[in-house]
């Protein structure tokens, strides 16, 4: 992607989830199992786009 930094978006190549997620007010992510687990561990509110695999992950979380 060719996304540029702005006042609302800060672009970085990579950052550890366990460091980042506790520092932000919310996380918007793709809903993968690892990212979902990391955001749940951090206790940070989150939202992700629904895809077919997310129903299986939701069953595991419940």
Residue 12's pLDDT is 82
> What's residue 4's pLDDT?
72
Q: How far apart are CA 58 and CA 62, in angstroms?
A: 6
- What does the pLDDT read at residue 54? 67
The answer to whether the pTM exceeds 0.75 is no
**SS3 at position 46:** strand
Contact 22, 28 (CB under 8 A): no
2-60 pLDDT, tens per residue?
Answer: 777 677 777 788 999 999 999 999 998 888 889 999 999 999 999 887 776 667 777 87
Helices and strands, number each (H, E), in the chain: 3, 2
What pLDDT sits at residue 21? 96
């Amino acid at each position: 992607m060719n996304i540029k930094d702005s006042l609302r978006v800060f672009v970085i190549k990579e950052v550890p989830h366990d460091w980042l997620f506790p520092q932000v007010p919310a996380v918007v992510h793709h809903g993968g199992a690892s990212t979902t687990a990391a955001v749940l561990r951090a206790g940070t509110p989150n939202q992700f786009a629904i895809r077919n695999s997310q129903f299986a992950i939701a069953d595991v979380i419940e």
